[in-house]
Chains A and B, each alone.
Chain A
């Protein structure tokens, strides 16, 4: 079973700064099978990236992902107050298709 570990647990940054969130897998995952989601308070999660490179519809290019093998990261440039959310990674390697525990992004 693949376990995803996200870090940091919480990130507190100011508008205009850059956030980097990490997702580490317990075993290698194809980059096309690692997705990222954003969950704003009181809302359902929303897909940010299919796999390690394709943005979902409507996601601004301030959001970027890189990674391969066991190490992946999500970078959010020029933070805006609306980026306040919990961010999750999920793998689609071997079932179960588990999520990381999430990184909470706070905007000062």
Chain B
């Protein structure tokens, strides 16, 4: 079945960088964009951006542009999110999700299980 499996939780100090992985299986990795979303504890969903695994093209939410980079490894069907210059405001669960486009609509399906990133000194 189509599945996205993310890397485990991580704790980082302020100012450091974090890299979250998202391994895809059950479909052709390069045929679907991957989107990234984060959720601070008790808060709503924040869309971070998207990446096309075929072309390596990406789009980023303005709020994190400059600190956020998406990448991929097509040999291992893995997408990556890297966030630099971390602050406590970046503490959140980070999700990857496949962007599915059908003749009747669009949506993110499925989602990875989420990766908790804690930024703390």
Q: What residues of chain A have their CB less than 8 Å away from a CB belonging to chain B?
A: 31-35, 37, 39, 44-47, 49-54, 56, 86, 88, 90, 92, 95-102
Contacts and interface: CB of A to CB of B under 8 A. Distances in A.
A97 B47 contact: yes
B35 interface: yes
Contact of A53 (B35, B45, B61, B104): B104
B53 interface: no
Contacts, number: 82
A54 B108 CA distance: 13
Contact of B46 (A47, A50, A99): A99
Contacts of A32: 104-106
* Chain B contact residues: helix, strand, loop or mixed: strand
A18 B109 CA distance: 26
Interface residues of B, number: 25
A33 B114 CA distance: 24
Interface of B: 35, 37, 44-47, 50, 59, 61-62, 95, 97, 100, 102, 104-114
B44 A102 contact: yes
Contacts of A97: 35, 47, 50
Contacts of A46: 109-111
Nearest to A6: B44
Given A44-B114, A102-B45, A96 B104 contact: no
17 contacts: A31-B105, A33-B105, A35-B106, A35-B108, A50-B102, A50-B104, A50-B105, A50-B106, A51-B102, A51-B107, A52-B105, A88-B44, A96-B47, A97-B35, A99-B44, A99-B46, A101-B44
